[in-house]
Chain A
Amino acid sequence: MSTNRILLYKRYERFWHWSQAVLVIFMLITGFEIHGAYGLFGFARAADLHTFTAWTLLVLWAFTIFWQFTTGEWQQYIPTLKKVDAMVRYYILGIFKNAPNPFQKTSVKKHNPLQRLAYLALLAFVSPIIWGSGIFYLTYGYWKHWGVDAWLNLETIAVVHTIGAFMMLTFFFVHVYLTTTGHTPLAHIKTMITGWEEEEQH
């Protein structure tokens, strides 16, 4: 069996992914502590770290959005329904029979159709929920000045933020699990670290 190596993830992309991963995991840990789910750093420290991490992530995103558009990589997130059914069948049945993955990654199409839908949902739905509510949460002190306090209260913002957090946590678990579905359990993670995809030839 011969293997073909392609460079799937460029250096910035890998930096972005892993730093974002660390920041998001850290925000989940500190966020659920602020929520009162457990004690780890202590409320004050957790709130400090959560806020600091939020700003860090925003800066990272500013660079990443710039990168996505200057490199044209944003097109990776355009959704498609083509082969979605095949992907679903693969994950429900094929994967257990060691059937080939119906999707072959290329540097032009890095994400399978289900991935595209999932990432789009993350970008267009979960992110606005978390960041919309999060930015209001951060700027609570200015509500009166902006007149926002007339129609918004902290409870709404807090509950919406929590809903977003649960969605993110769910995404995180599914995402991590699906990294094990490469041709070896660690293949996807290895690719994400080195950038190189070793694809099986069919």
Chain B
Amino acid sequence: MNLKKLALAASLLASLVAFGARAEVAVPSLGDKLPKVAKGTADHSKFKELQKTFKSGPEVTKVCLSCHTDAAQQVQHTKHWTWEVVDPATGKKLGKKNIINNYCTTPISNEKDCMACHAGYGWKDKTFDFTREENVDCLICHDSTGTYRKLPGDAGHPVYERKEFPAGSGKFVEAVDLAKVAQGVAMPSRANCGSCHFFGAGGDGTKHGDLDSSLKKPGKHLDVHMDAKGLNFSCVKCHKTVDHFVSGSRYEFAASRTGPPVARGKYDDEPASCQSCHGDKPHHENPLLMERLNVHTDKLACQTCHIPEYARDSIGTEKSWDWSTATKMGPDGKPMVVKDSAGRRAFDSKKGNFAWDSFLVPEYRWFNGKVEFKTVGEKIDPTKVVEINHFEGSASDPAARIWPFKIHRGKQAYDPELKNLLVVHTAGEDDTALWHNFDWPKAIGKGMETAGLPWSGKYDFVATEMSWPITHMVAPKGDAVRCAQCHKNEGRLAGIGGIWLPGRDRNGLVDTVGWVVVALTLLGTLIHGGIRVCVLCRKKKPEGMKQP
């Protein structure tokens, strides 16, 4: 009887297993017989136009434009090409061409070096023709091979011949195989944008602090959205790009977006903000916490809590650049380079002193989206630290939020008589280039002449600072800034005024009076109670025990 049942069960099980195995056999579909589908709809390696040897970048561009007829014109309308932005509020001309930064200061007279990051070919001086379409560099953004390189000194041209870089380093950069790059074009990846934006100010991580080459393949701990094994967002996922116009820029900053998420797909003018996808009530934890966290969004930028530190990697970022020590030579009278303990630049006779660090806690300031930039030739007040850029906003401004910043500090050359920052001709092989001849007056003379600005002939150095809003390197939520890191004395927001911060702020008078009253009350009860104990004890003794 039992044996029969067992056999039945076994056969049932066997048939089940057999059925299961059969279910696993893939049913051949029509798709399997067809060739594998490539990404995109055009395989550029099959285009006859691209199967040739290209001698220069513009040659490639001409071929690109034979199909993508309007692409160059679109690019030419963007700041990637013009390096110029007109502030709609003031009409002031901004953009990299006109503003000063706190690193190499200005591209004027240094174009051959700086234009390694121009999306074009041949901008070596002010004679550059901004209308020539073949000078648009398609490949810097669309290369998918990772072999396309542009070096300082070539005015934006890629490497055509194998060369030593940096000069005298013994390291060589191979010539770019332009045909291979052209045949492999693709939508821009993080590495494309990063080829310039990770290396701003001339080195990996130097400029931004929240952008460096570790974001090519970041782990989740470094950036939840760009996490290579997770969401793996490309830059243009947030910086939505239409007709080559890349959205989200520090010239048009969305500092305080409110309202529900627009959840991508609906194009609006500020898609590159956290709130575009997350809305301004993004927290959904337990009801108590959720409510309290969401309340913070009217005062804090998302980044303030969710980017607890920037430069969270070994690359780090530059904290300061002091030009005043440039041209100082080593003990042997020759130019000297000194590295810090982590191998980052600490001193260079060409450039002065640097300070670098990793895992930096941001500085916090009010910001309403409006930024003022110092432009070339603008007057300064040398008695104060010169703000190379100024982020506007205050506690009373409803459009302002508390934002995290990297503040880059430095010293720059200025004219003590005419009171403006000086344009210095740094890069180049000529006799006036600072990095070649180590002669400040010659380099300033050439720089100011090129800029078409007067110079008194005197120079000195003034303390400067430049602010960079921190918005990349968003940490996993478990790593967000803890409540008590701000809600305490001398916390992260110690320098932020205009708000009442529980745990940090107290009314001194109320506290003093309050504690005195509490102390006197305790004292009063002690005295009252003490007298009772003494009096009762004394009375009890002659009467004997009188306990009920």
B residues with CB within 8 A of A: 288-289, 291-292, 294-295, 298, 482-484, 487-489, 499-500, 502-507, 510-511, 513-515, 517-518, 521-522, 525, 528-529, 531-532, 535-536, 539, 547-548
Contact indicator A48/B289 (Cβ below 8 Å)? yes
* The 5 residue pairs across chains A and B that have the minimum distance between CB atoms: A166-B514, A141-B295, A177-B525, A43-B484, A44-B483
**Chain A residues within an 8 Å CB radius of B292:** 47, 51
Q: Contacts A163-B510, A177-B528 known; A36 to B504 CB distance under 8 Å?
A: yes
How far, in Å, is A104 (CB) from chain B's closest CB? 16
Contact segment of A7-15, A67-75, A94-102, A122-130: A94-102
Contact indicator A96/B532 (Cβ below 8 Å)? yes
How far, in Å, is A27 (CB) from chain B's closest CB? 14
For residues 117 through 151 of chain A, which have their beta carbon under 8 Å from a beta carbon of chain B? 140-141, 144
Contact indicator A34/B514 (Cβ below 8 Å)? no
- The closest CB in chain B to the CB of A137 belongs to B502
Contact indicator A173/B518 (Cβ below 8 Å)? yes
For residues 47 through 85 of chain A, which have their beta carbon under 8 Å from a beta carbon of chain B? 47-48, 51-52
What are 8 A-B interface contacts by the 8 Å CB criterion?
Answer: A36-B487, A43-B487, A43-B488, A44-B484, A98-B536, A184-B547, A198-B548, A200-B548
Contact indicator A155/B505 (Cβ below 8 Å)? yes
Separation of A51 and B288 alpha carbons in the complex (Å)? 7
Contact indicator A97/B507 (Cβ below 8 Å)? no
For residues 180 through 202 of chain A, which have their beta carbon under 8 Å from a beta carbon of chain B? 180-181, 183-184, 198, 200
Q: Mark A147-166, 1 if CB is under 8 A from B, else 0.
A: 00000011100110011011
**Chain A residues within an 8 Å CB radius of B529:** 177, 180
Q: Mark A9-49, 1 if CB is under 8 A from B, else 0.
A: 00000000000000000000000001110000011100110
How far, in Å, is A32 (CB) from chain B's closest CB? 10
How far, in Å, is A105 (CB) from chain B's closest CB? 16
Separation of A184 and B545 alpha carbons in the complex (Å)? 13
Contact indicator B489/A36 (Cβ below 8 Å)? yes
How far, in Å, is B507 (CB) from chain A's closest CB? 5
Residue A4 at the B interface, CB < 8 A?
Answer: no
Contact indicator A34/B521 (Cβ below 8 Å)? no
Residue A1 at the B interface, CB < 8 A?
Answer: yes
Contact indicator B536/A154 (Cβ below 8 Å)? no
- The closest CB in chain A to the CB of B515 belongs to A166
Contact indicator A184/B532 (Cβ below 8 Å)? no
12 additional A-B residue pairs with CB within 8 Å, beyond A162-B510, A173-B518 = A42-B484, A43-B488, A43-B503, A44-B484, A52-B288, A91-B528, A97-B535, A98-B539, A153-B500, A158-B502, A166-B510, A170-B517
Contact indicator A162/B514 (Cβ below 8 Å)? yes
Contact indicator A158/B500 (Cβ below 8 Å)? yes
Choice from A34, A155, A184 contacting B548 with Cβ under 8 Å:
A184
Q: Contacts A163-B510, A174-B525 known; A36 to B536 CB distance under 8 Å?
A: no
Q: Contacts A97-B535, A170-B521 known; A36 to B488 CB distance under 8 Å?
A: yes
A-B pair number, CB within 8 angstroms? 95
- The closest CB in chain A to the CB of B522 belongs to A173
How far, in Å, is B505 (CB) from chain A's closest CB? 7
How far, in Å, is A187 (CB) from chain B's closest CB? 9
- The closest CB in chain B to the CB of A173 belongs to B521
**Chain A residues within an 8 Å CB radius of B288:** 48, 51-52
Q: Contacts A35-B506, A141-B294 known; A169 to B483 CB distance under 8 Å?
A: no
Choice from A48, A154, A173 contacting B525 with Cβ under 8 Å:
A173
**Chain B residues within an 8 Å CB radius of A200:** 548
**Chain A residues within an 8 Å CB radius of B536:** 98
Contact indicator A154/B500 (Cβ below 8 Å)? yes
How far, in Å, is B429 (CB) from chain A's closest CB? 59
**Chain B residues within an 8 Å CB radius of A98:** 535-536, 539
Q: Contacts A35-B502, A183-B548 known; A166 to B525 CB distance under 8 Å?
A: no
Contact indicator B548/A1 (Cβ below 8 Å)? yes
Separation of A198 and B489 alpha carbons in the complex (Å)? 52
Q: Contacts A34-B503, A158-B500 known; A174 to B484 CB distance under 8 Å?
A: no
**Chain B residues within an 8 Å CB radius of A162:** 506-507, 510-511, 514
Contact indicator B503/A96 (Cβ below 8 Å)? no
**Chain A residues within an 8 Å CB radius of B525:** 173-174, 177
Contact indicator A44/B482 (Cβ below 8 Å)? yes
Q: Contacts A155-B500, A159-B507 known; A47 to B483 CB distance under 8 Å?
A: yes
**Chain A residues within an 8 Å CB radius of B517:** 166, 170
Separation of A43 and B484 alpha carbons in the complex (Å)? 5
Separation of A179 and B279 alpha carbons in the complex (Å)? 54
**Chain A residues within an 8 Å CB radius of B511:** 162
**Chain A residues within an 8 Å CB radius of B504:** 36
Separation of A98 and B547 alpha carbons in the complex (Å)? 13
How far, in Å, is A125 (CB) from chain B's closest CB? 15
- The closest CB in chain B to the CB of A181 belongs to B532
- The closest CB in chain A to the CB of B513 belongs to A166
- The closest CB in chain A to the CB of B511 belongs to A162
**Chain B residues within an 8 Å CB radius of A155:** 500, 505, 507
Separation of A47 and B483 alpha carbons in the complex (Å)? 10
- The closest CB in chain B to the CB of A44 belongs to B483
Interface centre among A51, A141, A165 (most CB of B within 10 A): A141
Separation of A172 and B548 alpha carbons in the complex (Å)? 28
**Chain A residues within an 8 Å CB radius of B499:** 154
**Chain B residues within an 8 Å CB radius of A1:** 548
Interface centre among A91, A165, A166, A200 (most CB of B within 10 A): A166
- The closest CB in chain B to the CB of A166 belongs to B514
**Chain A residues within an 8 Å CB radius of B532:** 95-96, 181
How far, in Å, is B510 (CB) from chain A's closest CB? 5
Q: Contacts A158-B500, A159-B510 known; A144 to B548 CB distance under 8 Å?
A: no
Contact indicator A141/B291 (Cβ below 8 Å)? yes
**Chain B residues within an 8 Å CB radius of A154:** 499-500
How far, in Å, is B42 (CB) from chain A's closest CB? 51
Contact indicator B503/A36 (Cβ below 8 Å)? yes
**Chain A residues within an 8 Å CB radius of B539:** 98
Contact indicator A96/B531 (Cβ below 8 Å)? yes
- The closest CB in chain B to the CB of A160 belongs to B510
- The closest CB in chain A to the CB of B296 belongs to A141
Contact indicator A43/B521 (Cβ below 8 Å)? no
**Chain B residues within an 8 Å CB radius of A166:** 510, 513-515, 517-518
- The closest CB in chain B to the CB of A95 belongs to B532
Separation of A51 and B295 alpha carbons in the complex (Å)? 14
How far, in Å, is A89 (CB) from chain B's closest CB? 14
